[in-house]
Amino acid sequence: MRDLIDQLDSSLAQPLYFLSLFTALAVPDIAGALDSDDGLANGGRYGAWYDKWAKPQFGKILRATLPPQVAALTGTLDPPMTGEAC
């Protein structure tokens, strides 16, 4: 999985945006299946993994891009994209 994430980062630097998008959208599916007892992927596992691991990171990244005076006023940012929507 680490190799996949490293290659995703490299594809963004190239810029290979379609490859980056495809890989980024596949990661929750792969990880959700790896977390399951039967090793199978499905929409529910995708959404649950996204909500647990990816969604919190988006709020942190978004907050880090704000000017300090704005970030101080925002508190916790909860991205609107849910695992179900993704």
Three state DSSP letters for the chain: CHHHHHHHHHHHHCCCHHHHHHHHHHHHHHHHHHHCCCCCCCHHHHHHHHHHHHHHHHHHHHHHHCCHHHHHHHCCCCCCCCCCCC
Q: Establish whether the linkage from the previous residue to 15 is cis, with ω within 30° of 0.
A: yes
Global pTM reads: 0.77
Residue 56 confidence (pLDDT): 87
Give the pLDDT confidence score for residue 8 in this predicted structure: 93
Question: What pLDDT sits at residue 62?
Answer: 81
Per-block average pLDDT, block size 10, for the chain (86 residues)?
Answer: 92 93 93 95 95 87 84 76 88
pLDDT of residue 21: 93
Q: What is the phi/psi pair of residue 81, to 5°?
A: -75, 120
